[in-house]
Structure 1
Amino acid sequence: MRYLAPERDLIDAQVFTHPVFAHLRDDQYGLCRSKDWPELAALNALWQAPINAGGHHFHFVDQDALPDDMHYEQRITHTGAIATRTRNWHDLFNAFIWMRYPAIKQALSARQVADIARVGPKQRTRGQCALTQFDEAGAVLRLHDAALLSAWDAHDWPYLFRNWADAEQRGVVQLWLFGHSLFEHALTPAIALVAKALVIDVSDTLEDEDMAFHIAEGIAAGALLNDPQELRPIPLTGIPGWHPEHGAEDFFTRVPCFRPKRAGRQYPEPVHTQ
Structure 2
Amino acid sequence: MRLPSVGGLFAPLLPLFDRRPLVPDLAALAALAAARELRNAAGRRIAFVAPPADGLDYETRIWLTGEVATRPDNWHDFFNALVWFAFPNTKATLNARHAELLRQAPAVRCRERDTLTHFDECGVVVVACDPEMLDLVRGFHWRRLFWERRADLAQGLRCLVFGHATYEQLLRPFRGLTAKAVLHQVTPDWLDQSPAAQVAAVDRLLAADFAVGRYREPRVWQPLPLLGLPGVTPENENAAYYDDQWQFRPGRGRCPV
> Which TM-score band applies after superposition, normalised by the shorter structure?
0.7 to 0.9
Please give the alpha-carbon distance, in whole angstroms, between the structure 2 residues aligned to 1:93 and 1:238.
23
Post-superposition offset of 1:53: 3.5
Q: Relative to 1, partners in 2 of residues 1:125 and 1:236: Cα closer, same or farther, differing over 3 Å? A: same
Post-superposition offset of 1:239: 0.8
* Identical aligned residues as a percent: 34
Post-superposition offset of 1:95: 0.9
Amino acid of the residue matched to residue 13 of structure 2?
L
What corresponds to 1:234 in structure 2? 224
Please give the alpha-carbon distance, in whole angstroms, between the structure 2 residues aligned to 1:175 and 1:78.
33
Please give the alpha-carbon distance, in whole angstroms, between the structure 2 residues aligned to 1:27 and 1:147.
33
What corresponds to 2:110 in structure 1? 125
Does residue 160 of the first structure (1) align with residue 145 of the second (2)? Answer: yes
Post-superposition offset of 1:99: 1.0
Under a length normalisation based on structure 2, what TM-score does the superposition of the two structures give? Answer: 0.86
Does residue 246 of the first structure (1) align with residue 230 of the second (2)? Answer: no
Q: Relative to 1, partners in 2 of residues 1:167 and 1:17: Cα closer, same or farther, differing over 3 Å? A: closer
Please give the alpha-carbon distance, in whole angstroms, between the structure 2 residues aligned to 1:211 and 1:187.
23
Q: Relative to 1, partners in 2 of residues 1:129 and 1:39: Cα closer, same or farther, differing over 3 Å? A: closer
Considering fraction of residues, name the structure with more helix: 2
Post-superposition offset of 1:112: 1.2
For structure 1, list consecutive stretches of 5 or more residues without a partner in the other structure. Answer: 1-12
What corresponds to 2:83 in structure 1? 97
Q: Relative to 1, partners in 2 of residues 1:211 and 1:255: Cα closer, same or farther, differing over 3 Å? A: same
Contact 1:165 1:240 in 2 (8 A): no
C-alpha deviations, 1:47-67, integer Å up to 9, x for none?
32233243320110011xx15
Which of 215, 219, 227 aligns to 2:210? It is: 219
C-alpha deviations, 1:155-193, integer Å up to 9, x for none?
110001121431432xx3222110111121122233443
Contact 1:21 1:29 in 2 (8 A): no
RMSD, matched Cα: 2.2
What corresponds to 1:8 in structure 2? none
Specify which structure has the bigger relative contact order, considering alpha-carbon pairs within 8 angstroms and separated by 6 or more residues: 2
Secondary structure of 2:49 counterpart: strand
Post-superposition offset of 1:255: 6.1
What corresponds to 1:183 in structure 2? 167
Amino acid of the residue matched to residue 237 of structure 1?
L
**Which moves more between the two structures, 158-167 or 39-48?**
39-48
Does residue 267 of the first structure (1) align with residue 251 of the second (2)? Answer: no
In the TM superposition, 1:66-81 aligns within 5 A as: 66-81=52-67
C-alpha deviations, 1:212-234, integer Å up to 9, x for none?
111101101212x2111111011
Q: Relative to 1, partners in 2 of residues 1:268 and 1:255: Cα closer, same or farther, differing over 3 Å? A: closer
Secondary structure of 1:16 counterpart: coil
Contact 1:148 1:159 in 2 (8 A): no
Under a length normalisation based on structure 1, what TM-score does the superposition of the two structures give? Answer: 0.81
Please give the alpha-carbon distance, in whole angstroms, between the structure 2 residues aligned to 1:120 and 1:89.
29
How many residues get paired? 246
Please give the alpha-carbon distance, in whole angstroms, between the structure 2 residues aligned to 1:128 and 1:30.
37
Please give the alpha-carbon distance, in whole angstroms, between the structure 1 residues aligned to 2:91 and 2:125.
14
What corresponds to 1:3 in structure 2? none
Post-superposition offset of 1:102: 1.0
Please give the alpha-carbon distance, in whole angstroms, between the structure 2 residues aligned to 1:178 and 1:107.
14
Contact 2:128 2:184 in 1 (8 A): yes
Contact 1:130 1:227 in 2 (8 A): yes
Please give the alpha-carbon distance, in whole angstroms, between the structure 2 residues aligned to 1:29 and 1:259.
38
Q: Relative to 1, partners in 2 of residues 1:205 and 1:164: Cα closer, same or farther, differing over 3 Å? A: farther
Instruction: Give 4+ residue runs of structure 1 displaced > 6 Å after superposition.
Output: none
What corresponds to 2:69 in structure 1? 83
What corresponds to 2:157 in structure 1? 173
Secondary structure of 2:37 counterpart: coil
In the TM superposition, 1:201-216 aligns within 5 A as: 201-203=185-187, 204-205=189-190, 207-216=198-207
**Which moves more between the two structures, 78-87 or 50-59?**
50-59
Q: Relative to 1, partners in 2 of residues 1:189 and 1:222: Cα closer, same or farther, differing over 3 Å? A: closer
Contact 1:62 1:85 in 2 (8 A): yes
Secondary structure of 2:190 counterpart: coil
Contact 2:123 2:180 in 1 (8 A): yes
What corresponds to 2:182 in structure 1? 198
